[in-house]
Structure 1
Amino acid sequence: MAKLQIVVLVLLSLHVASSSKLVCHMTNWAQYRPDAGKFTPENIDPFLCTHIIYNLATITSVNQVDTTEWNDEALYAQLNNLKNSNPALKTLLSVGGTVKGVSPFIAMVAKPETRAVFIKSAIGFLRTHHFDGLNVDWEYPGHNGSPLEDKTRFTLLLAELASAFEKEAREERKTRLMLSVNAAGVPATVNTAYEVDKISAYLDFINVMTYDYHGHWEKVTGHNSPLYRSAADHADSELSIDSALSRWLDLGAPAEKLLLGFPTYGRTNRLTTGANGLGAPSNGPAEAGPYTRTEGFWAYYEICDFINTAEVSWISEQEVPYATYGSAWVGYDNKRSFSSKVQMLNNRNLGGAHVWTLDLDDFSGSFCSDGAHPLVNHLRNSMGFAPKPTTTPRPTTTRDPIADFCRGRPDGLYANAADKTTYFQCFKGNTYLQRCQSGLIYWDSCKCCNWP
């Protein structure tokens, strides 16, 4: 057998097999979580995602973009310094939220003059802090106190932003700023909030928020991010990823601009009877997690602790898991459900995925015994991205059957029949041997490492 050689991967840009974007959100409030839950841009692997969106900036009463935290500008610098390590990384600033419970977009979009002030401010702010684009997070035009006319005004705002970004890039001889939105994942909301065919023309990508479909606000259990509807799901039958994507596509959104949302958190319920399956009676949330400290909401790393003692079940109709222990119930995502969602993403030829959020995955690897960022790394590999820059041993001669394994195969993950504790990652015909965590074996059904 030919001698193993060390191959150093120096990747100046990230390429994918079928989707071009893996967009990851981070939040500036994650810095206030205690101990191992604290997250800042210093915790980010610059090669994990293609784009990172910083959440959240706001709009002042005089229609100017502004910070929301005392140290935002320092955190902006930390984030954008990651581009020194990975020049291909793109960063965007998300603007939105509420001011005294009301979206600041409502007043800003009302007149052409106020929109113009905002747009000029946005361009200056993004350039000053070295962002590559703007993410508009308005939840939602025509809802929550926003008049129905804002559906049209939202289109005007995006058209004017896109035009101004083009003009500024041309006049200043700079790369054009990108423009994206966080958009509704509920079909009924999509209908009333957006002129989908029109706004799609102005956007580089659309982050469809395919999560928060169910939670403790309901009287029965329901999954946070189901792939399909279930006969046991008594609520709105359109509350699923499949229904949301169908609505966006039916209304004229180009598939290549739609990004499917992948949550790294779960929603909890408090069970009230002996029943504990989907649609079981519940009343309010389980106890808040020790790090996120938010009712009805657990980070994936908090869920890892919970499932060590909980009963874990799989909802076959919706291709997602849930877990119960005592009266606590949580619907969440794992590697298996991420794999199912990647399959839908590929089947619909979508432009990629967006993750809410980096700081809710086990970013340090301290909780789940599965390495840092187990969910996002699995998503990245499943989508067919190149291996991250590393020094990796692999056979290099065509006579070696392992080295030849990926010749002619599509990019992706494959079982190694000779050793279940390892698996192959194929990229552009090259074979990379990856190893599972101690005690785990590779399961091709979920494209992940799990217990035997």
Structure 2
Amino acid sequence: MTKPALQRHFKIMASHSMLSILPIVYTLFIVITTRSTAMAASRLPPVVKAGYYPSWVVDDLPPSAINTSLFTHVLYAFLVPNNVTFGFDISDSTAMILSNFTTTLHRKNRYVKVLYSIGGGGIEPDPFAVMATKASSRKVFIDATIGVARKYGFDGFDLDWEFPESPKAMDDFAFLLKEWRQAIRKEAKMTNRPPLLLTAAVYYSAEFLVYGSRRSYPAAAVRNNLDWVNVMCYDYHGSWDTSVTGAHAALFDPKTNLSSVYGIKSWLKAGVPGNKLVMGLPLYGKTWKLKDPKLHEVGSPAVGVGPGDDGVLTYVQVVEFNRRTKATVAHDVDTVSAYSYTGTSWVGYDDALSTTAKVLFAQALGLRGYFFWALGYDNDWTVTGQASSSWIVDK
């Protein structure tokens, strides 16, 4: 896929309604794919259409209301290990929630795989950096993860360590993955059960800077031990920079490396194959307060955050904001994103149209699939449903 080709077709798509662009979308995939779907299907493992389910959305979206037909994998977020024992302190109420979660989803769709995600952003203190330093504590943690999965009916687990910051932490991360995989294989052989899935949520790029020093993920350990990685292709812009508006999940960025195409290519360059990469898609937007209401495109001057919690709106809130304020909705071809504006309020997000383009990009590049953060943020499954139908499967 070439950038001009995708942007050209996205511009055409953006001028039509979602209903009328579906034939164009199909043509886009046929034109831009670099190999036949049949050949890809014969080489690639099954597609991943995943969604993280935050525990705090249960009142708005109980497990029974999840549309499991749209997903191959659902990840419960989050369980956090004890930062001293490195096991899991699961209360009776949490135990009931976990058992109900897995039982409900498996009953709704026996093909869906249910994982639990460990960690999450902003954990203080970070339990992983300490746990991963010693083989003994890694073993305690690994054994605990397997025990929780089997006890509550999960099909696997996902490590969300944000992020290993030192070279030693990256080395320890590699040791952890290797020993985790070995333990999974051993447990499956001993119990005669299918091996548990092991995935990890990772930074959008295989390399990143920490206080000016470059850090690199252990690509070989990732490639050899994880079933796949969930690449967080979002949060490129936000409340930490209120000087200009931004497409926080830009597919392309003509000015910086803050884009999904840069991040995915860095993982491929590091040696992690496309069939182990799952592209992250956001179901939320970032907001800014415009400096001048007449300047309202991506990259326009801003003076602060806009509506929402610290400048964040879920997609369902974006839809309501656009409806209530009669905001103008537009699409940016350069970044392949959506945005809306009214007065000094500006929102950058992804809608069904821009998400379709990103899903097509991921498939044409030979990626394993996509995931959403987060279930409960969509507007009646509008975006997630369009994404699921956009991934073209050779019959």
TM-score range, shorter chain: 0.7 to 0.9
Q: Do structure 1's residue 305 and structure 2's residue 305 form an aligned pair?
A: no
Give the 3 Å change call, closer, same or farther, for CA 71–329 of structure 1 in structure 2.
Answer: farther
Amino acid paired to 1:131: F
Aligned to 2:381: 373
Q: Do structure 1's residue 212 and structure 2's residue 220 form an aligned pair?
A: no
In the TM superposition, what is the alpha-carbon distance from 1:184 to its structure 2 partner? Answer: 0.4
Q: Do structure 1's residue 358 and structure 2's residue 375 form an aligned pair?
A: yes
Q: Do structure 1's residue 296 and structure 2's residue 311 form an aligned pair?
A: yes
Amino acid paired to 1:121: A
In the TM superposition, what is the alpha-carbon distance from 1:187 to its structure 2 partner? Answer: 5.2
In the TM superposition, what is the alpha-carbon distance from 1:99 to its structure 2 partner? Answer: 7.9
TM-score (normalizing by structure 1): 0.72
- Which residues in structure 2 correspond to 1:218-233 (within 5 Å)? 218=241, 219-231=243-255
Amino acid paired to 2:384: V
What CA distance in whole angstroms lies between the structure 1 residues aligned with 2:143 and 2:137? 10
Aligned to 2:263: 244
Amino acid paired to 1:254: P
SS in 2 for 1:342: helix
Query: What stretches of structure 1 move > 6 A for 4+ residues in a row?
Result: none
What CA distance in whole angstroms lies between the structure 2 residues aligned with 1:58 and 1:156? 20
CA contact (8 A) 1:94 1:137 kept: yes
SS in 2 for 1:134: strand
Q: Do structure 1's residue 180 and structure 2's residue 207 form an aligned pair?
A: no
1:134 to 134, 146, 157: 157
5+ residue gaps, structure 1: 1-15, 33-37, 232-236, 289-293, 363-371, 386-410, 412-427, 429-452
2:134 to 111, 115, 131: 111
What CA distance in whole angstroms lies between the structure 2 residues aligned with 1:322 and 1:187? 28
Deviates more, 1:99-108 or 1:206-215: 99-108
Q: Do structure 1's residue 85 and structure 2's residue 108 form an aligned pair?
A: yes
* Structure with the larger helix share: 2
Aligned to 1:24: 51
* Aligned-residue identity in percent: 29
Aligned to 2:282: 263
In the TM superposition, what is the alpha-carbon distance from 1:164 to its structure 2 partner? Answer: 0.1
What CA distance in whole angstroms lies between the structure 1 residues aligned with 2:123 and 2:191? 37
TM-score (normalizing by structure 2): 0.82
1:72 to 86, 94, 119: 94
Aligned to 1:189: 208
The alignment of Structure 1 onto Structure 2 pairs a total of residues equal to 343
CA-to-partner distance for each residue in 1:349-381, whole Å, 9 max, x for gaps? Answer: 11111111111112xxxxxxxxx3011111000
In the TM superposition, what is the alpha-carbon distance from 1:107 to its structure 2 partner? Answer: 1.1
What CA distance in whole angstroms lies between the structure 2 residues aligned with 1:99 and 1:261? 19
What CA distance in whole angstroms lies between the structure 2 residues aligned with 1:72 and 1:172? 26
Structure with larger Rg: 1
Aligned to 2:4: none
Give me the CA root mean square deviation.
2.0
2:292 to 273, 281, 291: 273
What CA distance in whole angstroms lies between the structure 2 residues aligned with 1:223 and 1:207? 20
2:390 to 376, 382, 386: 382
- Which residues in structure 2 correspond to 1:86-101 (within 5 Å)? 86-97=109-120, 101=124
What CA distance in whole angstroms lies between the structure 1 residues aligned with 2:206 and 2:188? 35
What CA distance in whole angstroms lies between the structure 2 residues aligned with 1:75 and 1:45? 18
CA contact (8 A) 1:97 1:103 kept: no
SS in 2 for 1:149: helix
CA contact (8 A) 2:121 2:160 kept: no
SS in 1 for 2:305: coil
CA contact (8 A) 1:321 1:332 kept: yes
In the TM superposition, what is the alpha-carbon distance from 1:75 to its structure 2 partner? Answer: 2.5
CA contact (8 A) 1:214 1:224 kept: yes
Q: Do structure 1's residue 58 and structure 2's residue 80 form an aligned pair?
A: yes
1:341 to 352, 355, 358: 358
